[in-house]
């Protein structure tokens, strides 16, 4: 299958001479959830800003769908790659949630009925019926983040990029983000996550790209990446606590990497006999 986003030998050098990403190759296919990890300044944001054309490669090429990002306008690319910024205050500014939802479609000069249907879809997806007339600034930070997300989704882009969606969120907020990501996937979107949140990646159990010092140093399933000590140390990352725990338990399957509490319990239930045997002492 042809990838939807294809990044070929892409480098980006800023006008000040700093090379932010170097020789990146990355294919993202339909239906994928991809987490991009790495410390600040590793180049992960620079990479992702290429997907909707905010940055153009100084070397190499990126195709999104059938579009070459170098030749397309940002507004057109953004209708296919929705980018939710980390701080909703950078994106939302209108006096009501309803206006926020319609804003992107209006920028694309869609006809009114079309806008209506898309806004309604976003309202349904995010269950915003009761908040339509609220001012986004009267909402709390996680609700405002969600409004920003919904207003990007109203354009119904193929790809949705979430920049640090769980930063500053409480446990409930983090769980909501997890739910939303799963919903986006179900709805047929590609989800790209820029995140530091190892718990989130663990729960999503998704493909994980690790950036370090402008280069891609890993691109594999989260369980593979999290169990690669060298990569994790190089990027200054630590797997979720539960993974660290499982690695130290002698009776667990050493060939497996456990990313969540539930996955271990599930595994133990499936191997109940072994559990009992070990439990009675050997």
**172 contributes a contact to another protein by CB under 8 A:** yes
Give CA angle at 133 (90, 86), nearest 5°. 20
Q: How far is the CB of 252 from another protein (least distance, A)?
A: 10
Phi, psi (deg, nearest 5) at residue 170: -80, 180
- Among 46, 69, 142, 257, which residue interacts with another protein (rule: CB under 8 A)? 142
Give CA angle at 271 (268, 277), nearest 5°. 100
**70 contributes a contact to another protein by CB under 8 A:** no
Listed in sequence order, the DSSP H helices in the chain are: 44-49, 74-78, 97-107, 112-126, 141-153, 171-186, 198-204, 222-227, 229-234, 241-248, 261-270, 272-279
Q: Pick the stretch among 20-28, 63-71, 82-90, 177-185 that binds another protein (CB under 8 A).
A: 82-90
Q: Pick the stretch among 2-10, 182-190, 223-231, 247-255 that binds another protein (CB under 8 A).
A: 247-255
**31 contributes a contact to another protein by CB under 8 A:** no
d(CA 242, CA 218): 21
d(CA 252, CA 73): 52
Among candidates 216, 226, 235, 228, which has minimal Cα distance to 258? 226
Rg of the chain over Cα atoms, rounded to whole angstroms, equals 21
- Among 82, 118, 190, 226, which residue interacts with another protein (rule: CB under 8 A)? 82
- Total site size for another protein, rule CB under 8 A: 65
- Among 30, 170, 187, 233, which residue interacts with another protein (rule: CB under 8 A)? 170
Q: How far is the CB of 76 from another protein (least distance, A)?
A: 8
Q: What is the 3-state secondary structure (H, E, C) of 9-43?
A: EEEEECCCCCEEEEEEEEEECCCCEEEEECCCCCC
Nearer to another protein, 2 or 95 (CB): 95
Residues 206-235, mask of contacts with another protein (x by CB under 8 A): ------------------------------
Instruction: Name the 3-class secondary structure at 6.
Output: strand
**39 contributes a contact to another protein by CB under 8 A:** yes
For 107, 199, 212, the CA distances from 147, given in Å and listed in that order, are 17, 23, 32
d(CA 38, CA 24): 14
**239 contributes a contact to another protein by CB under 8 A:** no
Q: Pick the stretch among 1-9, 59-67, 218-226, 257-265 that binds another protein (CB under 8 A).
A: 257-265
Any bridge partners for residue 26, and if so which?
Answer: 7
**274 contributes a contact to another protein by CB under 8 A:** no
Q: Which residues bind another protein (CB under 8 A)?
A: 39-41, 49, 52, 54, 73-75, 78-79, 82-85, 87, 89-93, 103-105, 107-108, 137, 140-142, 151-152, 155, 167-173, 196, 198-199, 236-238, 240-242, 244-245, 248-251, 261-262, 264-265, 268-269, 275, 278-279, 281
């Amino acid at each position: 299958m042809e990838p939807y986003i294809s990044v070929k030998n892409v480098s980006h050098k800023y006008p000040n001479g700093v090379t932010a990403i170097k020789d990146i190759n990355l294919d993202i296919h339909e239906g994928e959830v991809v987490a991009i990890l790495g410390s600040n300044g590793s180049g992960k944001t620079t990479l992702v800003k290429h997907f909707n054309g905010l940055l153009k490669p100084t070397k190499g090429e990126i195709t999104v769908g059938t579009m070459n990002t170098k030749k397309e306008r940002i507004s057109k690319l953004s209708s296919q790659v929705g980018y939710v910024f980390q701080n909703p205050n950078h994106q939302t500014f209108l006096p009501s949630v309803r206006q926020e939802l319609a804003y992107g479609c209006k920028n694309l000069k869609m006809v009114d009925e079309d806008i209506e249907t898309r806004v309604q879809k976003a309202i349904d997806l995010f269950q915003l019926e009761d908040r339509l007339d609220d001012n986004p600034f009267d909402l709390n930070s996680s609700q405002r983040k969600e409004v920003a997300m919904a207003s990007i989704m109203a354009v119904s882009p193929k790809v949705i990029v979430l920049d640090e969606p769980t930063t500053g969120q409480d446990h409930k907020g983090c769980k909501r983000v997890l739910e939303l990501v799963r919903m986006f996937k179900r709805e047929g979107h590609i989800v790209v996550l820029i995140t530091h949140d190892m718990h989130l990646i663990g729960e999503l159990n998704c493909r994980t790209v690790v950036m370090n010092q402008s280069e891609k140093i890993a691109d594999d399933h989260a369980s593979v990446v999290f169990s690669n000590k060298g990569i994790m140390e190089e990027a200054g990352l630590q797997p979720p606590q539960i993974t660290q725990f499982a690695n130290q338990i002698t009776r667990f399957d050493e060939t497996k990497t456990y990313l969540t509490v539930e996955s271990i319990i599930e595994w133990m239930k499936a191997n109940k006999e072994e559990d009992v045997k070990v439990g009675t002492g050997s």
